Amino acid sequence: MAEKKLVRSERKPNLNYDLLETEEGPAELYVDGFAGQTVGSSVIKTNLYISIETKMEGDVAVDQRMLTLRLVMPTDNFLEMCVSTLTGLKKNEAGVHKMLDQHQERILKALSTIGPSEPGKEK
């Protein structure tokens, strides 16, 4: 069995874990983006792709994308990842402001559609 080393450890209310990895480290897969998500109350599936070529259809350039991975994770863990990502963006805000400004309207519009559930009802 491969030797494991501790990479990170957290102890907080409702979040206690030790993150381990083998000597070889984790597998890494580069992707150019995501194309579609299925969002459910229990899991979220995200399709990740790489761009492989650009095909012309008349005067229109069409990006040819190869689906390389479908990431499936529990919805609550996905939301935790979102919070962690936003926290990381804040820590590295110098280069992020321009990108956030470009996407701000779309982000705020998407967030405005999310509201609290009525007690006893799941959206």
| This model's pTM is above 0.95 | no
Q: What is the mean pLDDT of the chain?
A: 88
Q: Is the pLDDT of residue 95 over 80?
A: no
pLDDT at 119: 65
The per-residue pLDDT for range 43-78, each reduced to its tens digit, is 999 999 999 999 999 999 999 999 999 999 999 999
The per-residue pLDDT for range 17-35, each reduced to its tens digit, is 999 999 999 999 999 999 9
pLDDT at 52: 96
pLDDT at 86: 83
- Class of residue 25 by CB neighbours under 10 A (exposed 0-12, middle 13-18, buried 19+): exposed
Q: Given its phi and psi angles, is residue 29 left (phi above 0), alpha (psi -120 to 50 degrees) or beta?
A: beta
Q: Is the pLDDT of residue 11 over 70?
A: yes
- Is residue 42 very low, low, confident or very high in pLDDT (cuts 50, 70, 90)? very high
Residue 56 main-chain phi, psi, to 5 deg: -90, 130
DSSP E strands: which ranges in 3-121? 4-12, 15-22, 33-39, 43-57, 60-74
